[in-house]
Amino acid sequence: MLTLFKKIFTWWNSDTFGTRIRTILYGKFVGKDNFGNKYYQSKNGKRWVIYSDEIDASKIPVEWFSWMHFMTNKIENNHEFKKYEWQKPHQSNQTGTESAYYPNKNKKDAFQKKYKSWK
C-alpha cells in the first residue's frame, strides 16, 4: 500500500503513476543504457527516460544525452556504443560528496579562506 502511495504522490523517487500510464499507452521503447535507464519515444517525437534508481539527470551517458536532446536521431550499432580505450566510464555528478574534485591535492587547502574578514 505504501509503495502505491509513493508512486502516486512522489515524483522524486522514481517515475510517477501518471508517467507509468503514459509510457504504457504512448511510449515506444527505444533502448536501455548500462546503468539500467530506459529510453522511450512517442509518435509525435517526444523523448523521455525512466531512471533505474535515483532520479539524477547527470546519470545519462553522453550517447543517450545527445539522443535525448535531438542532436542525433539514430542510435548506433543496435544500442552498443563503441568506446575508445582512452575514454573513462561515465560518472554521475559528484559535487558535494567525498569524491568531488578539488583543484588542490590537500582537501584542507581547498577550504582555506583566501581573504580576511572585516571586523
Tens-place pLDDT, residues 87-96: 887 777 888 8
The reply to whether 3 falls in a domain is no
pLDDT of residue 98: 79
The reply to whether 110 falls in a domain is no
Q: Is the Cβ–Cβ distance between 54 and 17 less than 8 Å?
A: no
The reply to whether 15 falls in a domain is no
Number of domains in the chain: 1
pLDDT of residue 78: 47
The reply to whether 32 falls in a domain is yes
Q: What is the mean pLDDT of each run of 10 residues along the chain (119 residues)?
A: 64 70 90 89 92 81 84 62 77 79 64 69
The reply to whether 91 falls in a domain is no
CA proximity to 31, closest of 71, 69, 70, 74: 74
Q: Tell me if the pTM is above 0.85.
A: no
CB atoms within 10 A of CB 55: 14
The reply to whether 87 falls in a domain is no
pLDDT of residue 77: 47
Which residue carries 591535492 as its cell? 105
CB atoms within 10 A of CB 22: 16
Q: Cα separations (Å) of 57 from 25, 53, 61, 115? A: 24, 12, 9, 35
pLDDT of residue 92: 74
pLDDT of residue 7: 62
The range of the structural domain enclosing residue 44 comes to 22-80
The reply to whether 111 falls in a domain is no
The reply to whether 95 falls in a domain is no
